[in-house]
Amino acid sequence: MKIKDYLQKAKKGNWAVGQFNFSTLEQLKAIIQAVEKLNSPVILGTSEGESRFVGLKQAVTLVDSYRQDKNLALFLNLDHGKSFDYIEKAIDAGYDGVHFDGSGFDFEENIRTSKKIVEYAHKKGVLVEGEINPILGTSRVLEKIPEASQKDLTDPKQAFRFIRETKVDSLAVNIGSFHGIETTGKSPVIDFNRLKEIKGQTSDKFLVLHGGSGIADKDIKEVIAQGIVKINVNTELRIAYTNALKQVLKNKPLETTPYKLMPEVVSIVSKIVEAKIKLFGSDNKT
């Protein structure tokens, strides 16, 4: 089955596929461990920065090797690709999906570029996620998140037109979530009414929630019930990885063998992925 088939299955069954980002082999191993344990499809995400660090071809080869070796439902998505050129490179390298974040362009330019990307991607069977309004923040601990005002949120009518003209397969919606976690731990206020309206205008497409870290579990369940079929998570995994590594190094000051230091880190990150998979209801769905 392809990525689209799983998103379709999720849509019918009212659950969501998690996208978990990685930039190191240990993070990837942690995600794979959770997937193996829970028989869940997952999307592995790399932002432009993460994919530059890993290498586009190397990310494809790594994911392919796990997919084939262990017969897992793994898919690789470029997260927040900002230009046609970089997205073209990811598609040529063998990514299964690409997210074009054209939210920095004016709306008409976003439509034009998204359309061009869709034409190129669809010829190669690659799924395209579009974005209209920027989802604020970055995937890290943040002192303060700028509150999204009404005009930052996705407008349902604009979403309808964007999808009709570009033919993107899915849309990253801004319904109040943000990338990162605020130091206060404050969770974002999700605009469920807006989600309902967007869903009404875009029912044949897949809706994606970015900024999956730090959202209350009950809100995650509610957005899934209302039609979100893909949820992106990065910050919580980054924090777990970094804190675990710091702790392990502190506990074992004389240990210098990476493969002896890292399993504990992998296991801690994996537990978080497991919890998200269960929360999204994607366990035992392969």
Angle at 203 between CA 199 and CA 207, to 5 degrees: 60
When asked if residue 79 is in the footprint of ligand 13P (CB under 6 A), the reply is yes
Backbone dihedral angles phi then psi of residue 21, each to the nearest 5 degrees? -85, 155
Those residues with Cβ within 8 angstroms of residue 131's Cβ, 6 or more apart along the chain or in another chain? 99, 100, 101, 102, 103, 171, 172
Helix (H, G, I), strand (E, B) or coil at 204: coil
When asked if residue 235 is in the footprint of ligand 13P (CB under 6 A), the reply is yes
Q: By CB under 6 A, what part of segment 173-202 binds ligand 13P?
A: 179-180
Scored b (16 or more CB within 10 A) or e, 174-186 reads: bbbbbbbbbeeee
Q: State in angstroms the smallest separation of the CB of 159 from ligand 13P.
A: 18
DSSP code string of 1-34? --HHHHHHHHHHHT--EEEEE-SSHHHHHHHHHH
Q: State in angstroms the smallest separation of the CB of 126 from ligand 13P.
A: 17
Among 81, 212, 227, 281, binds ligand 13P (CB under 6 A): 212
When asked if residue 139 is in the footprint of ligand 13P (CB under 6 A), the reply is yes
> Which positions are annotated as active-site residues?
79
Q: State in angstroms the smallest separation of the CB of 235 from ligand 13P.
A: 3
When asked if residue 211 is in the footprint of ligand 13P (CB under 6 A), the reply is yes
d(CA 100, CA 121): 11
Secondary structure letter of residue 71 according to DSSP? T
Q: Which stretch binds ligand 13P (CB under 6 A): 122-130, 189-197, 233-241, 272-280?
A: 233-241
Residue 154 or residue 235: which is nearer to ligand 13P going by CB? Answer: 235
With contact defined as beta carbons under 8 Å apart, do 236 and 14 qualify? Answer: no
When asked if residue 210 is in the footprint of ligand 13P (CB under 6 A), the reply is yes
When asked if residue 134 is in the footprint of ligand 13P (CB under 6 A), the reply is no
When asked if residue 103 is in the footprint of ligand 13P (CB under 6 A), the reply is no
Token digits for 6? 């799983």
With contact defined as beta carbons under 8 Å apart, do 36 and 52 qualify? Answer: no
When asked if residue 205 is in the footprint of ligand 13P (CB under 6 A), the reply is no
When asked if residue 46 is in the footprint of ligand 13P (CB under 6 A), the reply is no
When asked if residue 230 is in the footprint of ligand 13P (CB under 6 A), the reply is no
Q: Which stretch binds ligand 13P (CB under 6 A): 113-121, 209-217, 250-258, 278-286?
A: 209-217
Q: Which residues bind ligand 13P (CB under 6 A)?
A: 21, 79-80, 139, 179-180, 210-213, 232-235
